[in-house]
Amino acid sequence: MIKSIVKLCALALVVLTADSCKLIRHKRGKKQKEKAAVETRRLDSLAAGIKQAAVTDSAMVNVRLLDSMKPVVAPRVNVTTFAAKAKMHYEGGDKSLDFVANIRMKQDSIIWISVSAGGGLIQVARAVITPDSFKAVSFLENTAYIGPISKASSILPEGVDFYSLQNMLLGNPVLSKGQLNSVADSGDRWELRQTQLSYIEQLDVLKSDSTVQRSQLVSNDSLNRSLTQQLHNFGLFGNLRIAQDRKFNIINKGEGLLVDMNLSNIVIDAEQKYPFSIPEGYTIR
């Protein structure tokens, strides 16, 4: 069900950036590459530590404490609908680019993403994802994709999981059905580890309000994949605390990429529209 959450999250954060690159691509400098390489090595080391620690979790488990912590790893941000404007900065390989993604969501039902460039003046791409279907249109390539979620593999990574993407966008723990394995007291935070299939997720959760401050998702195999997200600048929206600044580091087989996301115009539980149409003459794949 979740063969490649890490690759999914990487793509979701920069949905259809292959098109964005054509408009707003910048070459990364030597210092940027060196800094990214150092961070990739650091996160690789942390990921190895998480995998090793998970081996001993079962022998050190405190069942009563684990049971009391289960509500903490459950999704904390539950909404009927969610909308935000995301200013995105992406670095990967020799590319550095900036673009804007407008995001709308109806929880457990639909995710709508519209990507633009040039200060929002140039429409680049639009995508609609549901638990069992996928639609996207590339306005720069005059191409559309439509069909069951399995068909998304032609442009999305294998094993797309709607609920993991939803959790990531809302700032919840990424694993949607994780099993809590360990809890550690770390001052003002809880350090939690949960597993789901071949993935381990380590969470730093603030004790005072149960917000996720940091998450590192690691594939428990030999493929060297991880997703680290750091959440900052929490704002109060209704009775929910939502991180307005996010930083994502994605490592896949030793190659790293970075995405900075700044959310504004956040609206929750308001009626939203999810328009999608394919212009006449576009090639459908």
Of 3-12, 166-175, 259-268, which gets the smallest average pLDDT? Answer: 3-12
Q: What does pTM read for this prediction?
A: 0.76
Amino acid at the residue 241:
R
Q: Which two tokens stand for residue 256?
A: 């790293």
| Per-residue confidence (pLDDT) for residue 66, from 0 to 100 | 77
Q: Once rounded to an integer, what is the mean pLDDT over residues 50-75?
A: 62
What percentage of the chain has pLDDT greater than the value 70? Answer: 73
Of 16-25, 77-86, 139-148, 170-179, which gets the smallest average pLDDT? Answer: 16-25
Q: How many CB atoms lie within 10 A of CB 71?
A: 9
Which string of b and e fits 227-264 if b means at least 16 CB within 10 Å?
Answer: bbbbbeebeebeebbbbbebbbbbbbeeebbbbbbbbe
Backbone angles phi, psi at 209, to 5 degrees: -140, 5
**More confident of the two residues 9 and 280:** 280
| Per-residue confidence (pLDDT) for residue 168, from 0 to 100 | 85
* Residue whose tokens read 């090595």: 41
Are the C-beta atoms of residues 29 and 140 closer than 8 Å to each other? Answer: no
Average pLDDT, the chain: 76
Burial of residue 282 (number of CB atoms within 10 Å: 0-12, 13-18, 19+): middle
- Most confident residue range from 6-10, 80-84, 116-120, 128-132: 80-84
| Per-residue confidence (pLDDT) for residue 197, from 0 to 100 | 79
**More confident of the two residues 275 and 285:** 275
Q: pLDDT tier at 41 (50, 70, 90 boundaries)? A: low
Spell out the domains of the chain, with CATH numbers in brackets.
Answer: 5-284 (2.50.20.10)
Burial of residue 30 (number of CB atoms within 10 Å: 0-12, 13-18, 19+): exposed
Per residue in 160-186, pLDDT (tens digit) is: 478 888 888 898 888 877 888 888 888
Per residue in 98-124, pLDDT (tens digit) is: 888 899 999 999 999 998 887 777 888
Does residue 57 surpass a pLDDT of 70?
no
Q: Cα separations (Å) of 162 from 106, 129, 133, 185?
A: 12, 7, 9, 32
Q: Which two tokens stand for residue 267?
A: 């609206």
Indicate the length of the chain as a whole number.
Answer: 285
